[in-house]
A = this chain, B = another copy of it.
Amino acid sequence: MVFTILSKDTITKARTGILKTRFGDVETPFFMPVATKASVKYISSDDLEKIGIKAIISNSYILSLKPGEKIIQNLGGIGKFMSFKGAIFTDSGGFQMYSPKLYIKSNYEGVFFRNPFSGEKVFMTPEKSMEIQQAIGSDVAMCLDSMPLYENSKEEIEEAVKKTTLWAKRCKKHHDKLQKNKKKKQLLFGITQGGVYKELRKKSTEEISKINFDGYAIGGLALGEPKEEEYEMIKIVKSLIPENKPIYLMGAGDPTELMEAIALGCDIFDSRFPTKNARHGTLFTWQGKLSLTNSKYKSDDSKIDSKCDCFVCKNYSRAYLHNLLWHNEGAGLRLVSYHNLFFLNELMKKTRNSIKEGKFYELLEKIRQIYR
């Protein structure tokens, strides 16, 4: 069993579970920091360990360009390469279709990308993505999906759904072949698309759920669409995915967004949001968001969050961190990123405990109030 449900909330669809990866077990719900280039921005693997992070996601497309999947494979895989003691997911590069700097065009065969480092054209196919992710040695691979933009027309999104299903089948087939006879298998997650169009999201989920993936991701959301639309789409996906499969909402990292998605039955999350926000001075606290770059903090001797146990809150004042951010000092960018990841990781811990203790709804309401 890849995924075992441990406990369920009675009011919402929230649940706790265990995702079994070849690295080890990870308790759900959990949040993954993003380590696109094999590093979370400003946060090294030892920091991740201190925070208590059990899983991260990297980007197999970027890693295949630099340092190259063969180098990582020869060095014993991405976990050893990064010295990260946890489960590692890799995204396929599908999300990079969102970047005008990287994306050129796509057809039914695959995607033409620009190599941002050399300028060369790269043709990515479902098969190639599976091979790269296997070589990189992540614990969970993601299918190559076709990622539309939020502003794309319904026709364009329909086309993306079609490609996503086609590629999902090819990913699964090739992944099965590659993993055959392996003792410790890499997991493979499917991804649903469909933008915020109910019928397209339903179609995509129905098609993807027919393929027996280890887990199912919700792609193409958390991109700035109204939250109501996002939650509507989660409900559709959730209603169509078997109960015993983990659901991964890609790109969500705002505290309320995570809590609402957990209430709707999601188990796994990733986002650059907490670290990016931190670098721009927006810090998560148990009293809500704090804009540390506000000049009122320049002489504030108190901690970011008096209720936080992270070493940043134990050691440094708002005034000092405000000053470091003002000067864009690397040490400061690390400290605030550390704090935000610590906060989200604590929030996930509290969430798991609250579900087990039948108190999830209370915590949800609290976070709704604090972060409204």
Interface residues of A (CB under 8 A from B): 37-47, 66-67, 71, 74-76, 81-83, 298-299, 301, 311, 315-317, 319-320, 322-324, 326-327, 329-335
A47 to B329, CA, bound (A): 15
Task: State the Cβ distance, A24 to closest chain B Cβ, in Å.
Answer: 19
A12 to B222, CA, bound (A): 67
Quick check: B46 and A317 within 8 Å, CB to CB?
Answer: no
Name A335's closest neighbour in chain B (CB-CB).
Answer: B44
- Point out the residues of chain B lying under 8 angstroms from A66, CB to CB: 323, 326-327
Quick check: A319 and B82 within 8 Å, CB to CB?
Answer: no
The complex is assembled from copies of this chain, and their number is: 2
Known interface pairs A71-B319, A83-B316, A317-B81; A43-B301 also in contact (CB < 8 Å)? no
Task: State the Cβ distance, A108 to closest chain B Cβ, in Å.
Answer: 33
- Point out the residues of chain B lying under 8 angstroms from A46, CB to CB: 311, 315
Quick check: A41 and B330 within 8 Å, CB to CB?
Answer: yes
A329 to B58, CA, bound (A): 14
Task: State the Cβ distance, A63 to closest chain B Cβ, in Å.
Answer: 9
- Point out the residues of chain B lying under 8 angstroms from A43, CB to CB: 331
Task: State the Cβ distance, A250 to closest chain B Cβ, in Å.
Answer: 22
- Point out the residues of chain B lying under 8 angstroms from A331, CB to CB: 39-44, 47, 334
